[in-house]
Amino acid sequence: MLVFFYDKTFEGLLTCVFDAYSRKTFPDKILAIGDVAPLFMTQSHDVMTDESKANRVWAAIRTKLSKIACNMLTHVWLSEEEGSEELLFRYICKTIDAPASIELNFGDNDVLRTAQIAKQVSKEQHFLKMFIRFQKAADDVFFAPVSPKCNALPLVIEHFVDRFADQKWIIYDIKRRYGYYYDMKTTIEITLEDDEHLLSGKLDESLLAQDEKIFQELWKGYFKSMTIKERINPKLQRQHMPKRFWKLLIEKQ
C-alpha cells in the first residue's frame, strides 16, 4: 500500500496530484502529516506543498471543467467528510485523463458522490447567509458567532463584505475556532485566544454596546408579535430553520 502524506491544505492536495503523475505512482491512501500510518503500508511519500505545482494542476482542471464543477471541488474540500481527500484525488485524476468533461457522468460513483457532497455544503452555505445574527460590541464592531455542520464559513464571507461594507464586523466559527474580521477595507482570517466564553453563542453583556440590548429586545418583540399562534408548525419550522441554529438566533433565545 502506497500512502501520500501532505499538509492538509487544498494546495497540498493538488501537489499530491502533480507528484503522482510525475512519479507515475498513485497513492492508495492520502493522509495528513502526523497521522498514524496504516498497518499494511509498504511505501510512503511526503508531499511538499508547492504553489507552482498546485497552480499547474488547477489550470489543467479549469480547461476540462466548468466554473460550477470547479466550485464543487472546493465545496467538497470544505465538507470535512471522511475520505474526501481520496475522493477529490480520484475525481481530479479522472478529469485530467478524460478526453472531455466528466462532471455530468453520474454513472461514475466518484462524480455522483462529489455532486452530492457539494450540494450538502451549498445548503449549509445558504443556511449561514440566512441565520447569521450580528451583535454590536462596545467598540462598535459587529460580532456574529456561527457553528456550521461543515467548514462553510469561507464561502459566505464575500456575501457579507458586499452586504455590510460600511461597518466593521467579525464572523467567528466557534466550532473550528477561527473567523474573519472586516475593517471596511480588507478581510483577514483571525483566531481569538480566549474564545471559551463564545461557545454559548452570546457575547457577555459587559462587552455589548449600550443600545445592543435594547435592539435585541425590540427584535424579540417583533418576532413574537408577528407570530400567529394558530399557525405555528414546529415540524415545518425545524425543516426550514434547523434546531442546531437556534442557540445562535437572538429571536429564539
Question: Tell me, what's the pLDDT at 130?
Answer: 92
Question: Tell me, what's the pLDDT at 197?
Answer: 67
**Same-domain pairing of 18 and 116:** yes
Q: Domain total for the chain?
A: 2
**Same-domain pairing of 234 and 144:** yes
Average pLDDT score over residue span 227-235: 82
**Same-domain pairing of 75 and 24:** yes
pLDDT band at 205 (very low <50, low <70, confident <90, very high): confident
How far apart, in whole angstroms, are the C-alpha atoms of residue 19 and residue 24? 8
Residue 54's alpha-carbon distances to 20, 40, 59, 83, 164, in angstroms, are 12, 29, 9, 20, 33
Question: Tell me, what's the pLDDT at 87?
Answer: 97
| Chosen domain end from 73, 95, 124 | 124
| Chosen domain end from 75, 96, 124 | 124
pTM to 2 decimal places: 0.86
How far apart, in whole angstroms, are the C-alpha atoms of residue 61 and residue 50? 17
**Same-domain pairing of 119 and 137:** no
Residue 5 has pLDDT above 80, yes or no: yes
Residue 246 has pLDDT above 70, yes or no: yes
**Same-domain pairing of 148 and 197:** yes
How far apart, in whole angstroms, are the C-alpha atoms of residue 174 and residue 177? 5
Task: Check if the beta carbon of residue 54 is closer than 8 Å to that of residue 17.
Answer: no
| Structural domain that includes position 87 | 2-124
- E strand or H helix that includes residue 143: strand 142-146
Q: Determine phi and psi for 164, rounding to 5 degrees.
A: -125, 55
Lowest average pLDDT, out of 124-133, 173-182, 233-242, goes to: 233-242
Lowest average pLDDT, out of 71-85, 137-151, 201-215, goes to: 201-215
pLDDT tens for each residue of 150-204: 999 999 999 999 999 999 999 999 999 999 999 999 999 999 887 676 766 677 7
**In the block, residue with C-alpha cell 455542520:** 149
**Same-domain pairing of 47 and 63:** yes
**Same-domain pairing of 101 and 143:** no
Identify the bridge partners of residue 178 per DSSP, sorted by sequence position.
173
Lowest average pLDDT, out of 50-54, 62-66, 69-73, 245-249, goes to: 245-249
Question: Tell me, what's the pLDDT at 219?
Answer: 80
**Same-domain pairing of 152 and 240:** yes
**Same-domain pairing of 174 and 218:** yes
| Chosen domain end from 103, 124, 145 | 124
How far apart, in whole angstroms, are the C-alpha atoms of residue 92 and residue 59? 12
**Same-domain pairing of 17 and 66:** yes
DSSP codes of every residue in 76-123? HHHT--TTHHHHHHHHHHHHHHSSS--TT-TTSHHHHHHHHHHHHHHH
**Same-domain pairing of 154 and 113:** no
- Pick from 32, 37, 46, 44: nearest CA to 85: 32
How far apart, in whole angstroms, are the C-alpha atoms of residue 87 and residue 95? 12
Average pLDDT score over residue span 68-72: 96
